[in-house]
Amino acid sequence: DVLPPAKKNPAAPITQNTPNPDEKVPVEVAGDKLEYSRDAKKVIAEGHVIVSYGEVSLTCDRVEVFFDEKKAYAEGHVVLYRGQDVFRGDKVYYDFGNDIGSFPDGHIADAPWYSTGEQVEQVNKDKIEVYNGSITSCDLDRPHYALTSKRMTIYPGDKVIARNVVFRVLNRPIFWWPY
């Protein structure tokens, strides 16, 4: 069940569009403990952290946000909400201004699809690359079935492209598509 950010996270902004990176829209940070470095133009936040920028909202345990670049490094129970898409992982490097991110051991929910991968790359808002991963429409922690591939390209709300796909049921290989 993937809900819009405002319903999953009451602190998430309700803005419909990601601001243009050239605009002077601030990245907003809140947390239990905030430390600001004026020289580095960055903030370090810890504990119940929420970072917001346009329609993107990120929650985590700890984050470093570089305001001039609109970039962040977050760790610990990281969840990023972007429209209907939900990304999860233990770490993320994210560029809010360009909608680019990197999730080692990442998980994606883009209803009706759920995907995991050793590396998940948000190439732009319309393209996600998943390496050594799987995709399924089963929302269980251990899906009954999945398609696995060394590399998949997900176009949210449109299509998924994968090659050398293995169809697995209960994590057992059933069928292989060699293309």
Asked if residue 15 has pLDDT above 50, the reply is: no
- pLDDT the model gives residue 40: 83
How much of the chain, in percent, has pLDDT values that exceed 90?
59
Q: What does the pLDDT read at residue 20? A: 53
Q: What integer pLDDT is reported at residue 17 of this predicted model?
A: 43
- Place 116 in a pLDDT band, splitting at 50, 70 and 90: very high
Beta bridge partners of 160: 154
Alpha carbon dihedral 86, 33, 27, 65, in 10-degree steps, equals -80
Average pLDDT of the chain, as a whole number: 85
SS3 8: helix
Which of 149, 108, 147 has its CA nearest to residue 127? Answer: 108
Of 138 and 18, the structure prediction assigns the larger pLDDT to 138
Q: Among residues of the chain, what percentage have pLDDT more than 70?
A: 87
- What are the two backbone dihedrals, phi and then psi, of residue 8, each rounded to the nearest 5 degrees? -75, -40
Output the CA torsion 84→6→13→35 (10° steps): -100
- For residue 126, what are its two tokens? 């319309």
Has residue 92 got a pLDDT over 70? yes
CA distance 63 to 76: 9
| CB-facing half-sphere around the CA of 140: CA atoms within 13 A | 7
pTM equals 0.78
pLDDT at position 135 over 50: yes
> Can you give the pLDDT at residue 23?
59
43: its two tokens: 């903030």
Contact 47, 86 (CB under 8 A): no
Q: What is the pLDDT of residues 19-77, one digit of tens each?
A: 454 557 788 999 999 999 888 889 999 999 999 998 899 999 999 999 889 999 999 99
